[in-house]
Amino acid sequence: MKAVKGQWVQILAEVLSPSNRAENIPEDTKKVPYVMRVKGYLEDSEASIGDAVTIKTVIGRRLDGELIQIEPSYTHDFGSHVPELSDAGQMISALYRSLKEEGHSDG
């Protein structure tokens, strides 16, 4: 699939190579480059995933990087059913109902 000029895309660009990173950072972090991902409108007439491209961001800045997504979507969600959490919730609801039944004063 190709992206065309003006299409909403996401790029990846290196900010610092591993050797140019800050000192005093953990070894695992120092091994990898410092990178950024930014979304914007494609400036090139057309491009494929992996191409070096230019984008214009929502506030009009031009940035260069590797095209990694065309029309990126939000994929974060509410997660799956978590039994440990819902069991805890059920326990609390039951506990509160039992207080009511026992008729504890409202203090």
Partner 1 sequence: MDKSYRAVMSRKNEIMKSSVGIDYSEFERDGIVFDYEELMTKTAPDISEVAEIQKEAGVGCTPLVELKNISRLVRSHAKKGHGAHIFVKDEAASLSGSFKDRRASLSMYVAKDRGFDGVIAATSGNYGAAVASQAARRGLKCIVLQETFDSRGMGQPEILEKGRACESYGAEVIQLSVGPELFYYLLRLLEETGFFNASLYTPYGIAGVETLGTEIVNQCREQLGRDPDHVVVTHAGGGNLTGTSRGLKKAGADKCKIIAASVELTGLHMASDTDFNKKSFTTGHTGFGVPFAVAPDRSDVPRNAARPLRYMDKYVLVTQGEVFFATEILARLEGMQRGPAGNTSLAAAIALARELPEDEVMVVQETEYTGAGKAPSAQLTFAKNQGIEVMRGDPRKLDSPGERIVIPQDFSQFSYKEIPMNRLRTSYLKRLLTEGKESFTDQEMQFLSEELHTDSWTIKRIIEEESRNG
Site string for partner 1, 81-100 (x = CB under 8 A): xx-xx-xxx-xxx-xx--x-
Site string for partner 1, 55-84 (x = CB under 8 A): --xxxxx------------xxxxxxxxx-x
* Of 1 and 73, CB closest to partner 1: 73
Which residue type sits at 45? S
Q: Does 101 bind partner 1 (CB under 8 A)?
A: no
Please report which helix (H) or strand (E) contains residue 88, including its range.
helix 83-102
Pick the binder of partner 1 from 35, 50, 52, 64 (CB under 8 A).
35
Structure tokens at 6: 């003006």
Q: Tokens 């120092």 label which residue?
A: 30
Name 53's Cβ contacts closer than 8 Å, sequence gap at least 6: 9, 11, 42, 43, 44, 47, 64, 65, 66, 67
Binding positions for partner 1, rule: CB under 8 A: 15-16, 20-22, 25-26, 28-29, 31-40, 57-61, 74-82, 84-85, 87-89, 91-93, 95-96, 99, 104, 106-107
